[in-house]
Structure 1
Amino acid sequence: MIDRERLALRRHVLSRHVDAGRVPGLAALVSVDGDVHVETMGVRDLDTRAPFTRDTIVRVASLTKVVIAAATMALIEDGSLRLDDPVGGLLPELAAMRVLKTPASALDETVPAEGPITVRHLLTCTWGFGVLPGPDLPVNRAATEAGIANVARPAGMDGDDWLARLAELPLMRQPGETWLYNTGYDVLGVLIARASGRALPDHLRERILDPLGMRDTGFHVPAEHLDRLATAYEPGPDGARAYERPEGRFSVPPDFPGGAGGLVSTVDDFHAFARMLMTGGAGVLSRASTELMTIDQLTPAQKEGAGLVPGMFDHTGWGFGMGVVHRRFDYPVKPGGYGWDGGLGPTWVSDPAERLIALIFHQLSFGEGRPAVNGDFLTWTYQGLT
């Protein structure tokens, strides 16, 4: 159960971050067995002082991945895809890839791929290409120059164009060898469109979003709701500073709806999605699919030398689109819990052992690490359980 008296103490802890100007505003949701508690504070724009409300829309960044994973599982359930089938039939661009001898090799120092790329490889981020520290690596420089790096997509580039440019580069690792974050989920977005015969936003809307009532989730914000989109901020020496306002790129449909981080949503919409996972699919997916998504899918060898931060896989693994806890670490999520962060602010945790879903949504980017307000939210959420 939720101890609302103790949650009042949590509100005091969170409000200190807002009052100090470290984060402009936020929405925090805690749900235990469907008993939902939501609190909001601060503003969604420091200039207009519009309040951060429960229906404020935020860029969820990497929380997009788990929604894309669910959309992929829906296609597996109807037989359009299979987990261990090669993707080359639908993505011929990736059917005969070359692989760098080492990640630091020159682009012409390659060997043939030892096997095909599968749907499972994309879901587990082990298909061979992704975020690899080292901006001076030849493959990273080439990705930036080709306009396919995470934040460097030229206007007018659609998913087919993006994939064609990506396929001209060698893989960093052999398919199935190592967890490399992010890029596989953009590839999944293209795969979903081709497997379903529909644009990715349409498939997502019909198969996942509408059945769950996620009306404010999508790849852009319609004009009539744009006033609810929070301004995006980044940490600065004197507090949060704006870098993208509502009239920016999310005000129009994107040329390439990115499966790795392109969605916007609200705290209630994402709670509906998290409830679907925790309750075994809720008619959207089968229990078998949600169980596959929420268990660690990586082998020890795939975790070796991988991770976004040192020691990441000491306490977590990776399911489909999310991290999975196998050892308690900096906050008390029990083994079997799962969730992920969105680098533009949001954090989501589901803890089946506590029957808990916890969400904090704001628009302060992570900068050099997760904002302190996110960690405080999780710590004090557990203090408020009985």
Structure 2
Amino acid sequence: MKRSIALLALLLWLSTVALVHAQTLPSVKPEQVGLSSERLGRLVSMLRNDSEKGQIPGAILLVARQGKIALFESVGVLDPKSKAPMTKDAIFRIYSMSKPITSVAIMTLVEDGKIALGDPVAKYIPQVAEMQVGVEKPGADGKPTLELVAPRRPMSLQDLLRHTSGLTYGIFGNTLVKKQYLDAKLFVGDPTNAEFVDRLVKLPLASQPGTMWDYSHSTDVLGRIVEIVTNKSLYEFEKERILDPLGMKDTAFDVTDKAKQARIAEPFPNDVTIGTDTTFFDPRVPQRWQSGGGGMVGTVMDYARFCQMLLNGGTLDGKRILGPKTVAYMTADHLDGSVAPGPLYLPGVGFGFGLGFAVRREAGVANVQGSTGEFNWGGAGGTFFWVDPKEDLFVVYAMQSPKQRVYYRPVLKNMIYSAVVKPNGK
């Protein structure tokens, strides 16, 4: 009897250890994976000093190479009001880092044979077929007026994934179409995904489908298509096919668990505005709108597991999310010479765009270090990540400081690449 109890206890302990391990990644000293501890230490010191000076509230940085974590550090405070220290399990509003997760969800449906990227969006949302393109022309008084013209071709699912749909955001820019998006109050009243899309399709397109890269609500529309095809909420499907298999236990669209709410990272009170008039959302308040383009929260470790899955070609800890050819297809450049970069081309010089990610086209040209084939994206609240298959490396950085997000992305990339002192595999 005693032996049976002891054996049961051992099995329970082993299963607990396995669960904990499944939600992290192995750690090593930087030198074991060809990185410099001293050079990475400079970066951590800089972030700590910036936090002490009040430039950022706090931050978490994770650097992994060859499947192992070489650096995982937190600095500063979790909440400027309470002065509670930043913890590695802090929960961040990841905003547009939701987009790669939703894009992966869509590609699982492609692999299932339930949708195809060449499908017109109107196949799933018929009202899209009625949308017209807004074209600015000078009026009689010299002021611009908006003329509506028919699309030259249907908007496709691939257009949604690569932001060439003709949809836009109202919070960036001041064209007549963008003003209509802003004036439409798309988010008022906490709409469901279905209600949000019903509002969106009543607006004009900002450009002809397939002709311009324009950052937009395209991924929100993809989230709705997931719901239509699966008859599940976006979160239910992503939890089933991505989040639970990867052990991303803190990634969701809200934080209603009171035990977790003390872990939510907060911005400075004077740094809460994104774009024209959008302010930080409160994840403690459950929302009906599950924004596939910007509504998720999560931890750095959760997103690290997502990155490692992509770097592994779609699998992690024996759980396959996507096939390796699908990941390679998603992270290839899908913009050709027929697509204009648009007035706000967020991927930047030297980068194209794949299916949910910016993709580096060549080693040079861009004003920041990197490798050809690297893919990345970030969130408006201050989070960002990149995956470098050539170096077998990925980085996840998180803070809640929208005013500082543009500054830190190139600084961190240059400093981290300076710490790569041995070629991959050497």
Structure 2, unpaired ranges of 5+? 1-33, 139-143, 272-277, 422-426
Q: Residue 213 of structure 1 contacts residue 269 of structure 1 at CA under 8 Å; is this kept in 2?
A: yes
Q: Are 2:415 and 1:377 equivalent residues in the alignment?
A: no
Partner of 2:82: 48
Give the 3-state SS of the residue equivalent to 1:317 in structure 2: strand
Q: Provide the rounded CA distance (Å) in 2 between the counterparts of 1:338 and 1:167.
A: 30
TM-score (norm 1): 0.90
Q: Residue 303 of structure 1 contacts residue 313 of structure 1 at CA under 8 Å; is this kept in 2?
A: no
Q: Deviations over 1:310-331 (max 9, x none)?
A: xx54311111111111133232
Q: Residue 310 of structure 2 contacts residue 327 of structure 2 at CA under 8 Å; is this kept in 1?
A: yes
Larger radius of gyration: 2
Partner of 1:115: 153
Offset of 1:136 from its aligned partner? 4.4
Give the 3-state SS of the residue equivalent to 2:97 in structure 1: helix
Q: Residue 96 of structure 1 contacts residue 113 of structure 1 at CA under 8 Å; is this kept in 2?
A: no
Q: Are 2:178 and 1:140 equivalent residues in the alignment?
A: yes
Partner of 1:28: 61
Q: Residue 170 of structure 2 contacts residue 181 of structure 2 at CA under 8 Å; is this kept in 1?
A: no
Offset of 1:79 from its aligned partner? 1.3
Offset of 1:44 from its aligned partner? 0.8
Q: Deviations over 1:141-174 (max 9, x none)?
A: 22222212xxxx1123222222112111221111
Structure 1, unpaired ranges of 5+? 237-242
Q: Residue 25 of structure 1 contacts residue 40 of structure 1 at CA under 8 Å; is this kept in 2?
A: yes
Q: Provide the rounded CA distance (Å) in 1 between the counterparts of 2:372 and 2:246.
A: 27
Give the 3-state SS of the residue equivalent to 1:258 in structure 2: coil
Offset of 1:224 from its aligned partner? 2.1
Offset of 1:352 from its aligned partner? 1.2
Partner of 1:239: none
CA distance 1:133–1:308, change in 2 (3 Å) = farther
Offset of 1:373 from its aligned partner? 3.5
Q: Provide the rounded CA distance (Å) in 2 between the counterparts of 1:134 and 1:11.
A: 32
Q: Deviations over 1:255-292 (max 9, x none)?
A: 21111111111111001001111111001111121111
Correspondence list, 1:174-189, <5 A: 174-189=208-223
Give the 3-state SS of the residue equivalent to 2:119 in structure 1: coil
Give the 3-state SS of the residue equivalent to 2:339 in structure 1: helix
Partner of 2:107: 73
User: Which amino acid in the other structure matches residue 172 of structure 1?
Assistant: A
Partner of 2:385: 348
CA distance 1:260–1:233, change in 2 (3 Å) = farther
Stretch moving more, 372-381 or 71-80 = 372-381
Q: Deviations over 1:37-57 (max 9, x none)?
A: 201111111121111111001
Q: Provide the rounded CA distance (Å) in 1 between the counterparts of 2:336 and 2:270.
A: 36
Q: Provide the rounded CA distance (Å) in 1 between the counterparts of 2:408 and 2:387.
A: 18
2:264 to 225, 229, 232: 229
Offset of 1:115 from its aligned partner? 1.7
Q: Deviations over 1:40-85 (max 9, x none)?
A: 1111111211111110010111111111100000111111111101
Correspondence list, 1:318-333, <5 A: 318-327=353-362, 328=364, 329-333=366-370
TM-score (norm 2): 0.82
Correspondence list, 1:293-312, <5 A: 293-308=330-345
2:302 to 269, 280, 298: 269
CA distance 1:244–1:185, change in 2 (3 Å) = closer
User: Which amino acid in the other structure matches residue 198 of structure 1?
Assistant: K
Q: Provide the rounded CA distance (Å) in 2 between the counterparts of 1:125 and 1:194.
A: 20
Give the 3-state SS of the residue equivalent to 1:15 in structure 2: helix
Offset of 1:119 from its aligned partner? 0.7
Q: Deviations over 1:229-274 (max 9, x none)?
A: 11133766xxxxxx978xx631132121111111111111001001
2:47 to 14, 19, 31: 14
Partner of 2:205: 171
Offset of 1:26 from its aligned partner? 0.7
Q: Are 2:238 and 1:204 equivalent residues in the alignment?
A: yes
User: Which amino acid in the other structure matches residue 59 of structure 1?
Assistant: R
Give the 3-state SS of the residue equivalent to 2:96 in structure 1: helix
The percent of aligned pairs where both chains have the same amino acid is: 30
1:84 to 105, 110, 118: 118
Correspondence list, 1:363-374, <5 A: 363-365=400-402, 367=403, 370-374=405-409
Q: Are 2:162 and 1:124 equivalent residues in the alignment?
A: yes
CA distance 1:363–1:124, change in 2 (3 Å) = same
CA distance 1:219–1:44, change in 2 (3 Å) = same
Q: Residue 169 of structure 2 contacts residue 216 of structure 2 at CA under 8 Å; is this kept in 1?
A: yes
CA distance 1:379–1:182, change in 2 (3 Å) = same
Alignment RMSD: 2.2
Q: Provide the rounded CA distance (Å) in 2 between the counterparts of 1:337 and 1:191.
A: 28
Q: Provide the rounded CA distance (Å) in 2 between the counterparts of 1:169 and 1:359.
A: 36
User: Which amino acid in the other structure matches residue 35 of structure 1?
Assistant: K
Q: Provide the rounded CA distance (Å) in 1 between the counterparts of 2:233 and 2:116.
A: 20
- Count how many residue pairs are aligned between Structure 1 and Structure 2: 369
Q: Are 2:324 and 1:287 equivalent residues in the alignment?
A: yes
1:215 to 231, 246, 249: 249
Q: Are 2:190 and 1:156 equivalent residues in the alignment?
A: yes
Q: Provide the rounded CA distance (Å) in 2 between the counterparts of 1:191 and 1:324.
A: 25
CA distance 1:103–1:27, change in 2 (3 Å) = farther
